Chains A and B, each alone.
Chain A
């Protein structure tokens, strides 16, 4: 670690948790630098939510040392609670209260004076574009509005460290963008963010550091670029209308392989330079290409490369995410376990390919 870097907001070593026979976290080590976005990336059932629940004092760990915001998690839970804010996977807003009342409730619980509480509530309503809906019941809010209110409630106490557990799961693209924008603004103001997500593009957009969690273990850490470099699967797909140019291209590009139909997959980088070089080669050889598509590594590729098995999606995921307008059902706090068992059933477990080098890439200095 860089000695000049500020003290870490979170350090965890050997974090373990089991529910009965089921091992959910199997010796997790984490270090989150202050003022950065740390992203825990993994499929459903990887243990992301459990990790957040432990780090935010909701669940006791079975083993391991954890310090959050400078306090020992077990000995000083209240000091930890005073420093953190948590926005869970399912919006924890009071549907019977209005947006403003929800914020005032938080202000009262943080023991703010009446005027100060009202001022902060009004600021947050404005900042989160909820002024018009401020005096409507939260149960009438759309999914995106509920998430925004949820996060606004978390911010009433001005926490230094915020846990965001899958903040955009089930949101429409526009609400996702808004949420990302909010997260960026928070980081600019010096807050540390601990984010979990199952979307690689989200980690890509926001995270300074990414840790890939699979079956309760961290299988890789690094920046987004570092992780992608380790992941094959990116390719340029060339589409042809006739067999002749396809065969010619196949001969020209030795590393390429045939795809479905009259298509050729050229593995490698998918950036502009690689694309230009490829097109130049084809043009010089006078090979007519009908069309092309870029395939960048996605979460599946990352998972396949890092763990040797695919990130099997639980079909329940999309359903859970889509129902953001409804109060979370009772299954709300269970998807982690159900998805895990579904995945175990769906794919035979292959041991991680590089168990001895889980932290191959050296931790980078925070970019901010």
Chain B
């Protein structure tokens, strides 16, 4: 068999392992589903009324405005779990074992990323189901839904590679907490819950230019028909850029793995 076939086979083995972990330790998928669902309840049920239709530029229902941001948070929670899983592999020493075996070097990490991708998309689908049950209505057709799914997948890819790198780099499981904090807090300082235009001064500048805002705006445009403008290009650029950074960083960390 060729090297490439071996690489694919080893990656498939690692993916199977990652999925088995999800089944054995379902808390990862529960967190990336339950927490965003609770936030959705909180924002729509508690703040939604007070924020009123004034919060949404298009004047539509608040739940329609907030769902794209909640979807993105779900991806963030999924990435936190990935960072922890990779870190556990690292500290338990099983990555060192893999590194002493004649297997495709990249399969160890691609298995994690592919597993994370499947996990995240699954929780995103379930979350959309919850949102629909709560009254979310989308104007999207099949193309828009597919495009939205593609964007969520792309974001998930970017955050998963970053998560893998963080998981490898962190000495302890606590070391991954800062990454979790960033991906869980960034959505709050973005257009997820209120338009960035309502924010003050430097916060507005930050919220307007951080990666999540363009991604959320694009998702919102696809799902509810609001204007996307140049957000689509910016969102894609952020996702591809972050993926590359995560990929390269993870590769470097994997190589120096045992020297720490």
Residues of A within 8 A of B (CB): 19, 53, 56-59, 78-79, 81-82, 84-86, 88, 90-97, 101, 105, 108-111, 137, 153, 157, 327-330, 332-334
Contacts and interface: CB of A to CB of B under 8 A. Distances in A.
Interface string B21-33: 1001100000000
Given A58-B100, A88-B93, A109-B98, 14 more contacts: A19-B259, A84-B100, A86-B97, A90-B92, A93-B94, A97-B17, A101-B20, A108-B9, A109-B10, A109-B101, A327-B92, A328-B91, A330-B171, A333-B93
A94 B93 contact: no
Nearest to A94: B94
Contacts of A109: 10, 13, 98, 101, 103
Contacts of A110: 101
A20 B132 CA distance: 57
Nearest to A106: B101
Contact of A94 (B91, B92, B99): B92
A58 B254 CA distance: 11
A109 B171 CA distance: 27
Contacts of B139: none
A53 B94 contact: no
Interface in B216-260: 257-260
B126 interface: no
A327 B91 contact: yes
A93 B91 CA distance: 11
Contact of A92 (B96, B102, B172, B260): B96
A14 B100 CA distance: 23
Interface in B129-186: 171-173, 175
A111 B9 contact: yes
Given A57-B100, A137-B24, A330-B171, A92 B257 contact: no
Do most interface residues of chain B lie in helix, strand or loop, or is the interface mixed?
helix
A58 B94 contact: no
Contacts of B13: 105, 108-109
Nearest to B108: A109
Interface of B: 1, 6, 9-10, 13, 16-17, 20-21, 24-25, 88, 91-94, 96-103, 171-173, 175, 257-260
Contacts of A333: 93, 96, 258, 260
B258 A327 contact: no
B17 A78 contact: no
A97 B24 contact: yes
Contacts of A157: 101
> Which of B13, B17, B94 has the most chain A CB atoms closer than 10 A to its own CB?
B94
Contacts of B259: 19, 59
A31 B92 CA distance: 31
A58 B258 contact: yes
Nearest to B92: A327
Contact of A111 (B6, B93, B94): B6
A81 B88 contact: no
Nearest to B97: A92
Contacts of A84: 100
26 contacts: A58-B99, A58-B257, A78-B102, A81-B100, A81-B101, A86-B96, A88-B96, A88-B97, A90-B92, A90-B93, A92-B93, A93-B94, A94-B17, A94-B92, A105-B17, A108-B9, A108-B16, A109-B13, A110-B101, A111-B9, A157-B101, A327-B91, A328-B92, A330-B91, A330-B172, A333-B258
B12 to A, nearest CB: 9
A334 B91 CA distance: 11
B96 A58 contact: yes
A330 B94 CA distance: 13
A282 B102 CA distance: 64
Given A88-B96, A327-B88, A327-B91, A334 B102 contact: no
> Which of A58, A79, A137 has the most chain B CB atoms closer than 10 A to its own CB?
A58
B94 A96 contact: no
Contacts of A79: 102
Contacts of B88: 327
Nearest to A97: B20
Contact of A153 (B17, B25, B97, B103): B97
A96 B25 contact: yes
B93 A328 contact: yes
A253 to B, nearest CB: 53
Nearest to B98: A109
Contacts of A96: 20-21, 24-25
Contacts of B175: 330
Contact of B100 (A86, A97, A101, A137): A86
B171 to A, nearest CB: 5
A89 to B, nearest CB: 9
Nearest to A85: B100
6 pairs of A and B residues whose beta carbons are closest in the complex: A92-B93, A330-B172, A58-B258, A92-B97, A81-B102, A82-B102
